Amino acid sequence: MSGDLFSIRMHSNLEGAHISGCERLAPVDRVESLAAAMVRRALQHPKGQADCLSLTIEAVSPASVQTTSLLDLTTIRAADYHQGRRMAAELLQRAGVSALAVASAVGYMAAGAAPGGTSMRGAMLVDAVDGTRLEPDPSRGVRASRMDLSESAETELRQRLALRGLDNPHVREALVLATKVMSAPGIVAELCWSDDPDYTAGYVASREYGYVRFAHLKPHGEERGGRAFFVCRQEVELEPLIAYLERSVLLITEVGEIGGPVDWEDV
């Protein structure tokens, strides 16, 4: 990926509820094809055809682009979502999140973290010690934005994920997003599971353990999902943190380790 970049971002709703979102960084010669793919995605979503679609395309200043390496990926075997959540909770505590904060985040995500018990557009910001929610808008949450893989890193990642049977948009996009989140100051860890009803997997991300994927973190057919970013409030002020997550530009140029499935005891 070379030359000037554009940030391409899509958000879509159905009957007022968020159903899909994605984004890319791309040179001008890829903007049209990527934008068209995003529109198709919104119109062919498992939850239904979007009735409201927002597509934003903005030029990115080359001087604003930071680069980094992708988090390492590990997959943990889990028999069902109950076991997956137990292991995810333990891993979050190993990473520095209190049991209280873990329970708070899991409870909100399982019940629907937005008002009315629906999924949020963005993520919760959760105090890593006492579990207090810190995001200014509990409906919108906080969005990690303006991040992507370079073309060479994307090619390498897709080849290596394919060897593990994991080359799909859920994994690729979540890896990129988690890498952006874990590059932010004051973030301790992240917990996520999808709001797509047919996708039960989720992950825990941290600097120490990388991106740890669990095949089951919610029951099949469940539409409630979301993200929790666990924050150490002693290390960062919220306004600069949110600005970093939503406005800074991060291009991932190197791929980390892509590990095969392992048992919990081997983590």
- The pLDDT value recorded for residue 3 is 62
Tell me what pLDDT residue 14 has.
Answer: 83
Residue 17: what pLDDT? 75
Domain ranges of the chain: 5-60, 67-266
This prediction's pTM:
0.93
Q: What is the pLDDT along the chain (267 residues), one digit of tens a residue?
A: 446 899 999 988 888 777 788 899 999 999 999 999 999 888 887 778 888 999 999 999 999 999 999 999 999 999 999 999 999 999 999 999 999 999 999 999 999 988 888 888 899 999 999 999 999 999 889 999 999 999 999 999 999 999 999 999 999 999 999 999 999 999 999 999 998 888 999 999 999 999 999 999 999 999 899 999 999 999 999 999 999 999 999 999 999 999 989 988 887
**Three-state SS sequence of the chain:** CCCCEEEEEEEEEECCEEEEEEEEEEEHHHHHHHHHHHHHHHHCECCECCCEEEEEEEEECHHHEEEEECCCEEEECCCCHHHHHHHHHHHHHHCCCCHHHHHHHHHHHHHCCECCCECCCCEEEEECCCCCECCCCCCCCECCCCEEECHHHHHHHHHHHHHCCCCCHHHHHHHHHHHHHHCCCCEEEEEEECCCCCCCCEEEEECCCEEEEECCCCCCCCCCCEEEEEECCCCCCHHHHHHHHHHCEEEEEECCCEEEEECHHHC
Whole-number pLDDT of residue 223: 87
